Structure 1
Amino acid sequence: MTHQPCVLFLITEDWYFWSHRLDLAKAIRDAGMEVLVVTRVQDHGARIEKEGFRLIPIRMRRRNRQPLRELLSVLELVRIYRREQPDLVHHVAMKPMLYGSIAARLAGVPAVVNAFAGLGYAFITDHQSAKVLRFLIGRALRWALALPRSRVIVQNDVDREQLIRDGIVQPIQVSVIRGVGVDTTAFAPSPEPTGPLVVLLGARMLWDKGVGEFVEAMRKLKARGLDLRGVLVGMVDEDNPACISQEQLRSWQATSVVEWWGRRDDMPRVLASAHVVVLPSYREGLPKVLLEAAACARPIVATDVPGCREIVQDGRNGLLVPPRDAGALAEAINTLVQDQAMRLRMGARGREIVTREFSAEQVARETLAVYRELLER
């Protein structure tokens, strides 16, 4: 009987697996591999199990300052890896990569994939504390990622070049797989809605997603008398140092500058209600919300930073603006608000680009190729 390879996903949050890795996990299963999901279970555990995946809850959190609990998290992973004996583990994001790689060494896991979702807070912020953190993380990653039968996946060429330049990885170790892909059937074009134009920012509510600049841009546009609705869609992420508080979000909403819809799991419907999608982030891996927006044939305004410019071709399927510049953001939004023909033209081109270059099927093919290379060594 042929051995069925077992792939174990380690991800800190169940909602992140559901929103960003579910399509990939299904493709891996369809390719004849068993899939285990190891994550902190909050709201999506039952749905993950209903999809047919075995779920193993853990206590690890992204932000924890208690060294004993961090040590216990590593030991918990070692026990799971030794008990389950996966053929390959796929770690997603910073803490799973660090702790999971330690556990994989100690448990003797044959093959490891470490996937950056983006370089994260420490690589975005120029605060002194972030620079110290970046140095420490770089040292830790250099050791953690140096497993003999492993591969590092990043989502854009700029992140790859930075990791190589900083001496964290060797060129032969790292592959670029552009994003997590998008289901172009679920995310499909629809006519523009009637009524006031909706300008939507979809992301976790973090300062480094450019939420503050978006609010200021909407304030400027409304001061001109434009009939617009600025909408924020996304969760408050208290485990992230750049978190925007619920109090701040409610304060903005109370002044009618923007609406905050919170976390939504019906993103095709949400995007269908929008006319323009905005992401003024300071840096990204490759943002899924922009892939989804383009698949829905919505024009995009984004910042000219790594990750965003991999999706947005300035003047073709959207407009690029400098980061941290609310004035430029407002002008770009206004350009699209005033020109329906441009919105429709850019939306159609965005759909073409995503279908050709960023489908979930393509990402799955590229990821499975990495798996097979490691498993066949």
Structure 2
Amino acid sequence: MGGGCCQPQKVGLNRLISITYKSFRNRDTMRIAMVGDEFYPAIGGAPAYTMGLGMALARLGVEPTLFSHAHPRQAKEEEFNGLTVKRLKGFVISRFDRAISASLAKRLHECIKFGGFDVVHGQDIYSPMALQSIYSARRRRIPSVLTCHSIHKTAGLWQLIYRPLVLMMCRANRVIVVSNATREFCRVLGVPDHKMEVIPNGVDLSKFNSAVDGLRMRARLGLGSEPLVVSATRLVRRKGMHYLVAAFLKVRKGVPDAKLAIAGKGPEAANLRARIKELGIEDSTFMLGALSHGQVAELMAAANVFVLPSIVESSPLTLLEAMAVGVPVVCPRAGGVSEVIEDGINGLMVPPTNVDALADAITRILSDKQLAKRLRGSGLKIVREKFSWERAARQTLELYEKVREEHAKRRTQH
């Protein structure tokens, strides 16, 4: 889910009135323009990726500036632990959290043109602002990188839909893909292998760790020691939450006092509430809406099992966050999940959309304390070793340096 609880610090207008001044302050420091529509307080993988990566890059001595669209409840200019944020006005399609306008595109182009940036990094292939930034970077002869987080359909008419998007992806110097499954998705679309670099997602281990106390969240929900099943994600159809509530009905037959808590918001929220009522499990189910980073961590710490019932996933941040907190996980055998989870070792995997298998896996963890303990320990170990934001930031910084060198070499040859 990756919803945000990082408190911003307001930045004075004079500091950012002209980012041109800033570009000459320290030319030994690499300056990165990160661009994307979705950012705090939005929830989901892309905004969490931008926040986590940006702050980790700042800790490595990079000077990152994020350009996103204006938000009614957020300052135009903010700072998040070294990540400078500048929000630009534009017409926002609120359902999709995307901004489109000629004035925004012009302003973004000016920011990139005069910002003295070494690399431009578009944060999401489905973000108009990110795609615009790749176009602007190419016009200004600045090396660029674009990140692909997702896996979607590619057959039939989808090929036509993706054609202009792939054209822009190929204009970037590199495309970061968050898993090998995402790499295959991009390959099918037509992105050349040499353009792609696999850099897995990370977890903010300062917020998601085994020291997080779940007792406050249990108290908020009015729970004592009852078994708690938790899921946290955007409520869209492909996340498979309707399979989870159907499976939970079956879980209750074996574990009658079990409770279910769902965190997140999205277009499927109303349908999900209706389905919960239809199944007669509203008295044992909590629909919590959007939560902050800290609240999500506390919810995970309160859980006996975390469930990700998605139909397909690339490299889900919430799964990594749950493992970092120390809760056993159940997830689909689909997409990039198998690159994180080894079935029976650090989680239980089930076929996507299989309600019976999902219910059985949840029940196994709730009923077998030794299994839960083993999964918990292995999950903690793999996240600490392989999925920190520091690790992801170092790999990304190496890629920035590589594209700068390649770009400089090509310019000297022409």
Provide TM-score, normalisation by structure 1.
0.85
2:148 corresponds to 1:116: yes
The residue number in structure 2 matching 1:240 is none
1:297-344 deviations in Å (ceiling 9; x for gaps):
211100001122222210111111111121211111111111111111
Q: CA deviation at 1:103?
A: 2.9
Return the alpha-carbon distance in structure 2 between the equivalents of residues 311 and 88 of structure 1: 29
- Over 3 Å counting, the alpha-carbon distance change for 1:222 and 1:344 in structure 2 is same
Q: State the 4+ residue runs in structure 1 displaced beyond 6 angstroms.
A: 62-65
Q: 1:112 to 1:268 in 2, by over 3 A?
A: same
Q: Which SS does the other structure have where 2:256 is aligned?
A: coil
Q: Which moved more, 1:87-96 or 1:335-344?
A: 87-96
- Please give the alpha-carbon distance, in whole angstroms, between the structure 2 residues aligned to 1:183 and 1:91: 21
**What is the distance in 2 between the residues matched to 1:293 and 1:116?**
22
1:157 to 180, 197, 211: 180
Structure 1 counterpart of 2:283: 256
> Alpha-carbon deviation of 1:19?
2.8
Q: Read off the aligned partner of 2:207 and give its amino acid letter.
A: A
1:115 is paired with a residue of what secondary structure?
strand
- Where structure 1 has 5 or more consecutive residues not aligned to the other structure, the ranges are 237-242
The size of the alignment, in residue pairs, is: 357
Q: Which residue of 1 aligns with 2:192?
A: 170
CA distance in 1, matches of 2:163, 2:56: 34
Question: Secondary structure in 2 aligned to 1:329?
Answer: helix
CA offsets 1:19-72 (integer angstroms, 9 cap, x no match): 33323212322333321111124356589525343322133646789xx94555
Shift of 1:278: 0.4
- Secondary structure of the structure 2 residue equivalent to 1:220: helix
Conservation of the 8 A alpha-carbon contact between 1:304 and 1:321: yes
In the alignment, does 2:260 pair up with 1:230? yes
Residue number in structure 2 paired with 1:12: 37
**1:100-125 deviation digits (Å, cap 9, x = unpaired):** 3223333x1411110012135x55xx
Task: Read off the aligned partner of 1:153 and give its amino acid letter.
Answer: I
1:376 aligns to what SS in structure 2? helix
Is the alpha carbon distance of 1:47 and 1:255 closer, same or farther for their aligned partners in structure 2, counting shifts above 3 Å?
Answer: farther
Q: Where do residues 252-291 of structure 1 align in structure 2 (5 Å cutoff)?
A: 252=276, 255-265=282-292, 266=294, 267-291=296-320
The equivalent of 1:99 in structure 2 is 132
Write the distance in 1 (CA, Å) between the matches of 2:271 and 2:240.
18
The SS at the match of 1:95 is: coil
List aligned pairs for 1:306-345, cutoff 5 A: 306-345=335-374
For the 8 Å contact 2:261–2:286, the answer to whether it is kept is: yes
286-295 or 16-25, larger mean C-alpha shift? 16-25
RMSD in angstroms over aligned alpha carbons? 2.8
Of 371, 378, 382 in structure 2, the residue corresponding to residue 353 of structure 1 is 382
In structure 2, runs of 5+ residues without a counterpart are: 1-25, 216-223, 407-414
The code of the aligned residue for 2:188 comes to: R
Q: CA deviation at 1:244?
A: 0.5
Match of 1:208 among 216, 238, 252: 238
Aligned to 2:170: 146
Structure 1 residues 44 and 317, CA gap change in structure 2 (3 angstroms): farther
CA distance in 2, matches of 1:75, 1:93: 20
Q: Does 1:80 align with 2:111?
A: yes
Q: Which amino acid aligns with 1:9?
A: M
Q: Is the 8 A contact 2:214 2:298 kept in 1?
A: no
Compared with structure 1, are the counterparts of its residues 355 and 62 closer, same or farther at alpha carbon in structure 2 (3 Å cutoff)? farther
Q: Which amino acid aligns with 2:159?
A: F
Matched AA of 1:255: E
Relative to 1, partners in 2 of residues 1:34 and 1:215: Cα closer, same or farther, differing over 3 Å?
same
Aligned match of 1:182: 203
Matched AA of 1:362? R
Could you say what secondary structure the match of 2:36 adopts?
strand
